[in-house]
């Protein structure tokens, strides 16, 4: 099974895990919409490999940008089969303490992770319903276990688990599946956590059967492509 003829929109896909996901989806035949706040060359790289992709400027905290991103997918390809909400706050990789968190920092994390998921769910619902599509959100083991260095990141990832489970129940009668991907993969947040606690990399690797932290494209992207 390939994704030929299907359109997938990936948020936060200009770099890191999101870029790996977008690249893997395109390699599997999907029309990929790279939704990110800046053009980082991800689409040019995908096209250079002979695959299909379109970039759209998108701040997931802005409903108008979210609406425009969905419109780009529909205008360019005539359909939208899946939304992969991978975006996180640019500050999600900065170590902090919960006792030092103010309202502005909390709102920044929330608006991208949970708020962005809500905006895309509301905006993409009709298009996804039309083709019995899929909505995927990215959580993290930190959302289950907590994090001493990135507690707000962990908080939002935990919230997204509840969001996805509830949305799955709400959308099931419409034929839309909702899934959670919870990888251990290299990302800016992961790199920051390892820099703050160098022993973490070895600890995490020991927990994984393959003995290594995941690669965004090879490990995570290929898993998303098999939704």
CATH number at residue 91: 3.40.50.720
pTM of the model: 0.90
- Whether residue 205 is contained in a domain is answered as yes
- Whether residue 209 is contained in a domain is answered as yes
Range of the domain at 147: 7-225
Q: Which two tokens stand for residue 46?
A: 């995908």
Q: Is residue 195 pLDDT above 90, yes or no? A: no
- Whether residue 51 is contained in a domain is answered as yes
Q: Is residue 137 pLDDT above 90, yes or no? A: yes
- Whether residue 81 is contained in a domain is answered as yes
- Whether residue 125 is contained in a domain is answered as yes
Q: Is residue 189 pLDDT above 70, yes or no? A: no
| In the block, residue with structure tokens 């949305």 | 167
Q: Report the number of distinct structural domains present in the chain.
A: 1
- Whether residue 1 is contained in a domain is answered as no
| In the block, residue with structure tokens 């160098």 | 198
Q: Which two tokens stand for residue 227?
A: 């939704």
Q: What whole-number distance in Å separates Cα of residue 168 and Cα of residue 40?
A: 32
Helix (H, G, I), strand (E, B) or coil at 100: helix
Residues in the chain: 227
- Whether residue 120 is contained in a domain is answered as yes
- Whether residue 2 is contained in a domain is answered as no
Q: Torsion over CA of 19, 20, 24 and 27, rounded to 10 degrees?
A: 60
């Amino acid at each position: 099974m390939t994704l030929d003829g299907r359109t997938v929109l990936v948020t936060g896909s200009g770099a890191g895990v999101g870029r790996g996901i977008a690249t893997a989806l395109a390699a599997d035949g999907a029309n990929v919409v790279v939704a990110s706040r800046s053009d980082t060359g991800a689409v040019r790289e995908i096209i250079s490999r002979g695959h299909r992709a379109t970039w759209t400027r998108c701040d997931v905290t802005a409903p108008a940008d979210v609406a425009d991103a969905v419109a780009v997918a529909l205008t360019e390809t005539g359909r939208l089969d899946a939304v992969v909400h991978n975006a996180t706050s640019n500050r999600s990789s900065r170590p902090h303490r919960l006792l030092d968190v103010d309202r502005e920092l909390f709102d920044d994390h929330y608006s991208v992770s949970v708020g962005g998921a809500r905006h895309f769910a509301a905006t993409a619902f009709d298009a996804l319903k039309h083709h019995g599509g899929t909505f995927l959100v990215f959580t993290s083991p930190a959302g289950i276990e907590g994090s001493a260095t990135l507690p707000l990141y962990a908080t939002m990832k935990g919230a997204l688990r509840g969001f996805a489970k509830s949305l799955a129940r709400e959308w099931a009668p419409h034929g839309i599946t909702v899934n959670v991907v919870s990888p251990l993969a290299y990302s800016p947040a992961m790199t920051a956590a390892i820099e703050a606690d160098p022993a973490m990399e070895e600890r995490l690797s020991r927990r994984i059967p393959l003995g290594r932290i995941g690669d965004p494209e090879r490990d995570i992207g290929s898993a998303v492509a098999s939704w």
